[in-house]
């Protein structure tokens, strides 16, 4: 296989070889920090903690150390390597998010969460620079995926009360029997298993058919046991849509297909809470047109968005705050206790306003596919580009039912933003002959 570099730029082979082990360990460590978290296998028997002013101390310490380590490495190796991702639309989007902090109804909470979000974005950008080439990226992400899968299966065998939803769970005891592994919820576990399936396909094509197939099979088996409807349904659809958008030679066609599908998904999800005709269609074809109670959350969120459509309520400063849980209690809806909008696009709209959503859609939906079509790194980088595209597509579709975009710490969000940056780097890479 090729040694084509992930990121354009001059490299010193001897220095790169000498630091390959350290870079590899750091890459895997960062992925495990995000995917495993400082709190794996949480007990769900206790009531969940509410939003606090101090935040999670363990997360703050561990992520601060990771940020400083990656920042130091980026400084020593050259911050100019980050320039390709600093495109105007990204700067405009993050600039608007920063403005939403100033207009937030809880500026301190928004500021803290915005800074943390920027740390995670920076970590994703630098993490992508760690592997020397596509071959090493494949090896390292395979190691991380096998480690997480192994921990999840060990949890099922050795501590099922912490790896499988129980009837004694404080919230949602109806999920009893669904596997969640080391994650807090079956939906998070399901999304990660879909991601690991993509990893398996990538590794099988790039490095080892046996290893890649084993990862894919283990991920699919666990995904089925999570009983998580959204990832189970979106996985094959993501593969199909990815295949479709790679067929056209004109980028505009692929972008139009993707935008149309995302728009339709949002129309038949969030739109069902607003348009009676859409809800009637879903009632005729679905056993649960409420999407497991999500329509109540969407109705509530849409109603609140109407009061602050331009600035929103502030980056990360709506769900779980005391002003919602207690201040809006007179609305007599259980939705005020929701932890998020269960829709990444609506979540961005209610926290950063409609302009913030529009900018984020241009950055995260429009430009990555354009970058894919502009990829000029040669056939050696094709498996990696396809992997990034699959992760990106799955993240876009999953955001119609879960708040995947800009969560505080998101297992899928981290690899999604890596895919966005990765497609950008591949579009800037020099062609190989």
* Res 55 pLDDT > 70: no
Average pLDDT, the chain: 87
* Number of domains forming the structure of the chain: 1
pTM: 0.91
Q: What is the pLDDT of residue 410?
A: 85
Q: Express each pLDDT in 77-126 by its tens digit.
A: 888 889 989 999 999 999 999 999 999 989 999 999 999 999 999 999 99
Q: Is residue 5 part of a domain?
A: no
Q: Is residue 215 part of a domain?
A: yes
Q: What is the pLDDT of residue 166?
A: 93
Q: What is the pLDDT of residue 432?
A: 43
What is the distance, to the nearest Å, from the Cα of residue 424 to the centroid of all Cα atoms in its chain?
Answer: 17
With a CB cutoff of 8 Å and minimum separation 6, the contacts of 143 are: 28
Q: Give the 3-state secondary structure of 252-309.
A: HHHHHHHHHHHHHHHHCCHHHHCCHHHHHHHHHHCCCCCCCCHHHHHHHHHHHHCCCC
3-class DSSP assignment, residue 180? coil
Q: What is the pLDDT of residue 263?
A: 92
User: In percent, how much of the chain has pLDDT > 70?
Assistant: 90
Q: Is residue 287 part of a domain?
A: yes
pLDDT band at 1 (very low <50, low <70, confident <90, very high): very low
Q: What is the pLDDT of residue 40?
A: 92
Q: Express each pLDDT in 177-194 by its tens digit.
A: 999 999 999 999 999 999
Q: What is the pLDDT of residue 76?
A: 87
Q: Is residue 255 part of a domain?
A: yes
Averaged over 316-333, what is the pLDDT?
74
Q: What is the pLDDT of residue 66?
A: 92
Count of beta carbons in the 10 Å neighbourhood of residue 56: 17
pLDDT band at 20 (very low <50, low <70, confident <90, very high): confident
Q: Is residue 420 part of a domain?
A: yes
Q: Express each pLDDT in 230-286 by its tens digit.
A: 999 999 999 999 999 988 777 788 888 888 999 999 998 898 888 888 888 888 888
Hey, what are 319's tokens?
């769900």
* Burial zone of 407 (CB within 10 Å; 0-12 exposed, 13-18 middle, 19+ buried): buried
Q: Express each pLDDT in 282-299 by its tens digit.
A: 888 887 777 877 888 898
Residue 49: DSSP 8-state:
P
Q: Is residue 49 part of a domain?
A: no
pLDDT band at 337 (very low <50, low <70, confident <90, very high): confident
Q: Is residue 69 part of a domain?
A: yes
* Res 418 pLDDT > 60: yes
Lowest-pLDDT range of 9-23, 221-235, 365-379: 9-23
Q: What is the pLDDT of residue 326?
A: 72
d(CA 226, CA 12): 46
Which among 427, 433, 415, 424 has a CA at the least distance from the CA of 120?
A: 415
d(CA 228, CA 222): 10
Pick 171 or 198 by higher pLDDT.
198
pLDDT band at 328 (very low <50, low <70, confident <90, very high): low
- Cα distance between the two ends of the chain: 14
Q: What is the pLDDT of residue 218?
A: 98
Q: What is the span of the domain harbouring residue 322?
A: 13-42+54-428
Q: Express each pLDDT in 353-389 by its tens digit.
A: 999 999 999 999 989 988 998 876 566 788 999 999 9
d(CA 404, CA 319): 14
Q: What is the pLDDT of residue 433?
A: 38
* Cα-based distances in Å from 413 to 8, 119, 402: 24, 13, 11
Q: Is residue 3 part of a domain?
A: no
Hey, what are 54's tokens?
């101090």
Hey, what are 385's tokens?
């580009």
């Amino acid at each position: 296989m090729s040694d084509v570099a992930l990121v354009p730029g001059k490299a010193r082979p001897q220095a790169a070889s000498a630091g390959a082990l350290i870079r590899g360990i750091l890459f895997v460590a960062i992925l495990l920090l995000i995917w495993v978290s400082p709190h794996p296998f949480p007990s769900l028997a206790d009531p969940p903690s509410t939003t606090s002013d101090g935040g999670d101390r363990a997360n703050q310490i561990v992520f601060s150390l990771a940020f400083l380590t990656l920042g130091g490495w980026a400084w020593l190796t050259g911050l100019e390597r980050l320039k390709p991702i600093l495109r105007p639309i990204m700067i405009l989007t993050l600039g608007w998010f920063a403005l939403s902090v100033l207009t937030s109804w809880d500026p301190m909470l928004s500021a803290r969460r915005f800074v943390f979000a920027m740390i995670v974005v920076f970590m994703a950008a630098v993490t992508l620079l760690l592997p020397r080439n596509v071959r090493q990226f494949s090896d390292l992400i395979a190691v991380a995926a096998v480690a997480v899968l192994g921990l999840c299966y060990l949890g099922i065998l050795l501590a099922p009360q912490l790896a499988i939803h129980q009837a004694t769970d404080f919230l949602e005891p109806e999920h009893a029997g669904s596997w969640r592994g080391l994650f807090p919820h079956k939906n998070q576990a399901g999304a990660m298993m879909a991601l690991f399936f993509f990893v398996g396909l990538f590794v099988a094509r790039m490095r080892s058919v046996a290893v890649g197939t084993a990862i894919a099979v283990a991920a699919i088996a666990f995904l089925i046991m999570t009983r998580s409807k959204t990832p189970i349904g979106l996985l094959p659809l993501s593969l199909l849509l990815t295949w479709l958008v790679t067929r056209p030679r004109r980028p505009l066609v692929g972008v139009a297909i993707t935008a149309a599908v995302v728009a339709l998904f949002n129309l038949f999800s969030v739109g069902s809470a607003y348009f009676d005709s859409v809800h009637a269609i879903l009632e005729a074809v679905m056993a649960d047109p409420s999407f497991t109670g999500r329509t109540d959350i969407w109705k509530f969120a849409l109603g609140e968005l109407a009061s602050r459509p331009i600035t929103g309520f502030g980056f990360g400063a709506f769900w779980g705050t005391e002003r919602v849980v207690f201040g809006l209690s007179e609305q007599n809806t259980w939705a005020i206790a929701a932890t998020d909008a269960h829709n990444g696009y609506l979540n961005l709209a209610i926290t950063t306003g409609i302009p913030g959503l529009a900018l984020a859609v241009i950055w995260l939906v429009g430009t990555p596919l354009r970058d894919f079509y502009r990829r000029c790194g040669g056939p050696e980088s094709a498996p990696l580009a396809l992997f990034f595209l699959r992760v990106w597509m799955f993240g876009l579709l999953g955001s119609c039912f879960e708040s995947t975009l800009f969560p505080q710490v998101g297992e899928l969000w981290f690899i999604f933003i890596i895919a966005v940056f990765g497609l950008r780097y591949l579009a800037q890479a020099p062609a190989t002959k």
